[in-house]
Structure 1
Amino acid sequence: MLPESFVNRMKEMLGEEYEAFSEALKEERHQALRVNPLKAEPEDFARTGPFSLTPVPWAKTGFYYDKAQQPGKHPLHEAGVYYIQEPSAMAPAQFLQARPGERVLDLCAAPGGKSTQIAAQMKGGGLLVCNEIHPARAKILSENIERMGIRNAVVTNETPERLAERFSGFFDRILVDAPCSGEGMFRKNEEACGEWSLENVEMCAERQDTILDSAQQMLRSGGLLVYSTCTFSPQENEGSINRFLDRFPDFTLVNVDMPEGFAAGRPDWVPGGREELVRTMRLWPHKIRGEGHFLAVLKKEGSVSETERMPVRRDGIKGLSVKEYADYLEFEKQYLTIRQEGIFIAFGDQLYLAPQGMPPLKGLKVLRPGLHLGTRKKNRFEPSHALALALKPEEVRFSCDLLSDSREIYGYLNGETFREDVGVYREEGGKGWHLITADGYSIGWGKLAGGIMKNHYPKGLRKNRSC
């Protein structure tokens, strides 16, 4: 049952449209996934992959699927070939339009759908900082960054205010997918409906103002800020943007081409609403195949050349000497066909490759300071699961491919070993570390010895799976 106060407000907002809106909320929600271009060509995967997919109009890599297909239980999900994501939630990152080589911040990033979408746009180049204030959700965010094979992301667990103190004027683009009252998720999540109240709407609006204040401080002159919510509340949508523009007149709303089915924002729904709020966008469940969403694209006044961008201070990012990661270099020489580029850093016995241009992180809560390469052990190096997921078969010397619908791949994901005569090998006769792939997509490590492929799929990820 929808809250009475919510119903009354929506009837006042929508008028004759309310009935269509109400009926849409009774329908089954739409299921979608986003193909990971770091792993697969989206159109090819849609055409030849294991699912029947149809495009999400506003997301280049997004596709609807039939929920009976259950892609979340398929091995290619564990390989990071796609991310299951609500279709409307794909819109904000699409409008951020991040590019390789830029500095990008996803300020409220968990569980990671938008961060992984941004990373795909950046194609492994530049610096992506993914932040989440809640520790448990930040851990899930970090796990999804790993699963999708992202090399250039730093995951932090900080408040926006703490980040703003450190990174004033630093980022080229910032996404603020703000915590909200969640009205747009009522069809998807019944708990959101039960937790709703007018008081919570007010509290969320105040929190959004605070978050946006920090975000604007971290954006460089001429930079782009995308604000989004999954609510219908004008106070949290057009109202948040109206108040923001009152506080920061050096920002303007960008006039973008709206995809078919998107609706313009409504200045008349907020007190003193400026006319340019029509440049914001609303996604309504009775107009598109997706849940409720709102987004606005804002640009900060001014511009800077590449040489004028805020310089990266090197203090606090002391990389390791070559001698300190010699064991990794030996592993790389023996088993990889590429050289890793970046700053080698260590957290205890764990070796990471930090992205070029990473700012000093000392004093911040950091869950993932870049690509986790592996563990430095006595006289040897053990590669990480993150490294396996970031590599492609052509980037390793030895690999073993299993069919994604085979008993062997499900056995591997359950932690089982398998015989050497199972699978297709990139190079016959290789001993030691092999990249295990499913239909050619990296999924983990195995170590071949004595005719048996020993399983190195992480114990924490193993489940009782079956074909």
Structure 2
Amino acid sequence: MDTPSFPPHFLEQLNAEPGFDKQNFVDAHQSGASITSIRINPFKPSGIKTDKQVPWCADGYYLNTRPSFTFDPSFHAGAYYVQEASSMFIDHILKTIRPEKEDPIKVLDLCAAPGGKSTLLNSALQSTDLLVANEIIKTRVPILTDNLSRWGTTNTIVTNNDPRDFTSLKGFFDVVLVDAPCSGSGMFRKDPAAMNEWSEGNVNLCHQRQERILADIYPAINEDGYLIYSTCSYSHQENEDILDWLCAEFSMESIRIPIYKEWGIVETESPLQKAWGYRFYPGKVLGEGLFAACLRKKESTGGVSNYKNNAHQKLAAAELDIVRGYVNEPDDFYYFKVSDDWLAINREHKESLNMLHRQLYIKKSGVRIGKLAGRDLIPDHELALSLAINKDAVLSTPLNKEQAIQYLRRDNIDITINAKGWSLMEYEGLALGWAKLLPNRINNYYPKEIRIMTQQASPPTP
């Protein structure tokens, strides 16, 4: 295979970077090797067979071959997420900085779509912890919302805001992840076309944008809270130089993350402030290019006052009783309405939700349960995928793989009907969504916007 067409002077610049091995790097890009990795959802046990574990993430696994995930019902049920292995290092950072059995924390994923790192963070959190997943670009919010809904947890809020909108939330978050927009050189092997879009000018523009984003979000980090910073770039300007700037501008403290030599990760220090960073080079790690670092905030930039919402919604007791019947452990939740939709979030996050509602544009809160029509609930798709659903309160219809694919396409399902009413459609014990069973047909309520569109034959599942 020919040597990849790296941008002019790109390799020469990388020669000066810590741990860079030019021949090894070129060979890795020249080999055409495709590395496929998934991360298991710890909240949704499944029979997925995996091969080799990602060393820095207990739920991450490499696959020997890449199946068509589109035609695996377990994927649509949220049993796992297809994620690049290097980016799973964020899990190792979070578990390093947060010992077990600490007080509940509030975590922000600032640049969250499509949701890989948000579901990664969420897997490491307890229900008493809160995750806010924000996406700046409006058109990318739906995929973020869908992926978090598939994950099934109820301690999440999805927002669509610019980083500067968080400035007023002083000291609100204990951990902030900024997976910053970058020049993307770490994705050259995965997406060779990205080489044609890379330029030194774009690296400089990204550096400036990263500084703006970090300056905007800094006040929202609590004193002694943590900033996890990552890019998919190899450029010094977007990595170690940013660490030097953070330490000099804000007096942040660099946190050294323990790693093992056999992982192949290169530990670096920034030239001026000696801040620790971690570089991932294809060929040295089984993954793509990544840079990650963790810093601690050592000052207070003020706090946001607690907001007590005295104008609580007046919820009809009879309606609330109906809704609570569809929720497992109903006393653990705070219930509210948005238009005609009933929603619920873990009770611990009620005041946080009220506070965020005053400052941010919220797209998803906890789990959307559904609408009431008289004494009947029209259940929402989010409820079907949620861990909070009371399965004793609903019908369940098991599907084989062929039937599950028919359902996910919104086709007619070849199945014998033995009941009537709303039913969870399940594949191997995992909920896929809702259908309404009628005496002579099945009304398929799988959401149109996420249905399978292709007609490709179903390959083996992972």
Identify the TM-score tier after normalising by the shorter chain.
0.7 to 0.9
The CA distance in 1 between the partners of 2:356 and 2:226, in whole Å, is 23
2:36 paired with 1:31: yes
Q: Which residue of 2 aligns with 1:426?
A: none
1:88–1:437 distance in 2 versus 1, CA, 3 Å: same
1:454–1:417 distance in 2 versus 1, CA, 3 Å: farther
Match runs of 1:156-195 below 5 Å: 156-165=159-168, 167-195=169-197
**Deviation of the 1:421 alpha carbon:** 4.3
**Deviation of the 1:178 alpha carbon:** 0.7
1:16–1:337 distance in 2 versus 1, CA, 3 Å: closer
Contact 1:100 1:122 survives alignment (8 Å): no
Residues 5-33 of structure 1, C-alpha deviations (whole Å, 9 max, x = no match): 31221234369821111111223231111
What residue identity is the alignment partner of 2:330? R
Q: CA RMSD in A?
A: 2.7
Instruction: State the SS of the aligned residue for 1:446.
Output: strand
1:151–1:337 distance in 2 versus 1, CA, 3 Å: closer
Match runs of 1:214-293 below 5 Å: 214-249=216-251, 251-259=252-260, 260-268=263-271, 273-274=272-273, 276-277=274-275, 279-293=276-290
Residues 106-125 of structure 1, C-alpha deviations (whole Å, 9 max, x = no match): 01111110001111111433
More off after superposition, 118-127 vs 347-356: 347-356
Q: Which residue of 1 aligns with 2:382?
A: 386
Contact 1:393 1:441 survives alignment (8 Å): no
2:293 paired with 1:296: yes
Residues 77-102 of structure 1, C-alpha deviations (whole Å, 9 max, x = no match): 10000010111111124312367832
What residue identity is the alignment partner of 1:254? I
Q: Which residue of 2 aligns with 1:441?
A: 430
The CA distance in 1 between the partners of 2:20 and 2:86, in whole Å, is 24
Match runs of 1:60-71 below 5 Å: 60-71=58-69
Match runs of 1:104-183 below 5 Å: 104-165=107-168, 167-183=169-185
User: Number of residue pairs matched?
Assistant: 438
1:15–1:90 distance in 2 versus 1, CA, 3 Å: closer
Q: Which residue of 1 aligns with 2:313?
A: 320
**Deviation of the 1:132 alpha carbon:** 1.0
Residues 173-225 of structure 1, C-alpha deviations (whole Å, 9 max, x = no match): 11111111111001112342221111110011111111111232111111121
Instruction: State the SS of the aligned residue for 1:169.
Output: coil
More off after superposition, 370-379 vs 344-353: 370-379
What residue identity is the alignment partner of 1:415? R
**Deviation of the 1:432 alpha carbon:** 2.3
1:68–1:85 distance in 2 versus 1, CA, 3 Å: closer
**Deviation of the 1:451 alpha carbon:** 6.6
**Deviation of the 1:463 alpha carbon:** 2.2
**Deviation of the 1:292 alpha carbon:** 0.8
Contact 2:71 2:405 survives alignment (8 Å): no
When the two structures are superposed, what TM-score results if normalisation uses the length of structure 1?
0.86
Match of 1:9 among 6, 9, 13: 13
Higher relative contact order (CA 8 A, sep 6+): 2
Residues 148-197 of structure 1, C-alpha deviations (whole Å, 9 max, x = no match): 213111111111111122x1101111111111111100111234222111
1:224–1:68 distance in 2 versus 1, CA, 3 Å: closer
Contact 2:328 2:389 survives alignment (8 Å): no
The CA distance in 1 between the partners of 2:71 and 2:176, in whole Å, is 33
Contact 2:265 2:278 survives alignment (8 Å): yes
Q: Which residue of 2 aligns with 1:425?
A: none
The CA distance in 2 between the partners of 1:301 and 1:204, in whole Å, is 26
The CA distance in 1 between the partners of 2:268 and 2:400, in whole Å, is 45
When the two structures are superposed, what TM-score results if normalisation uses the length of structure 2?
0.87
More off after superposition, 292-301 vs 407-416: 407-416
The CA distance in 2 between the partners of 1:139 and 1:109, in whole Å, is 11
Contact 2:172 2:221 survives alignment (8 Å): yes
1:15–1:132 distance in 2 versus 1, CA, 3 Å: closer
2:368 paired with 1:372: yes
Instruction: State the SS of the aligned residue for 1:101.
Output: coil
Identity of aligned residues (%): 31
Instruction: State the SS of the aligned residue for 1:362.
Output: helix
What residue identity is the alignment partner of 2:410? G
2:348 paired with 1:347: no
What residue identity is the alignment partner of 1:160? P
**Deviation of the 1:68 alpha carbon:** 3.8
The CA distance in 2 between the partners of 1:257 and 1:201, in whole Å, is 29
The CA distance in 1 between the partners of 2:327 and 2:358, in whole Å, is 31
**Deviation of the 1:438 alpha carbon:** 0.9
What residue identity is the alignment partner of 2:164? E
**Deviation of the 1:445 alpha carbon:** 1.5
**Deviation of the 1:75 alpha carbon:** 0.5
